[in-house]
Amino acid sequence: MAELTRPRQGRIIAGVCAGIARRYGWSPALVRWVFVISCLLPGPQFLIYIALWILVPEGD
């Protein structure tokens, strides 16, 4: 498995969803859809996304 990093290529906003998809071998589109759908539910999704944007290093 790849290390969790935010890729420079293939990202939409910050690359968090693309990095999670690459780490676990999933489709980036699937991870993005799951994130968007989860935003319809109450919870700290945006705060978690921002925290991952800050904490996850950018890949090569």
3-58 pLDDT per residue, tens: 999 999 988 899 999 999 999 999 999 999 999 999 999 999 999 999 999 999 99
Q: Contact 5/55 with Cβ under 8 angstroms?
A: no
Q: Is 45 exposed, middle or buried (0-12, 13-18, 19+ CB in 10 A)?
A: middle
User: 47-57 pLDDT, tens per residue?
Assistant: 999 999 999 99
With cut-offs at 50, 70 and 90, classify the pLDDT of residue 60.
confident
Cβ atoms of 16 and 53 within 8 Å: the answer is yes
How many independent structural domains does the chain possess?
1
How high is the pLDDT of residue 29? 96
**Domain span holding position 50:** 1-60
CA 4 to chain centre: 10
One-letter identity of residue 33:
W
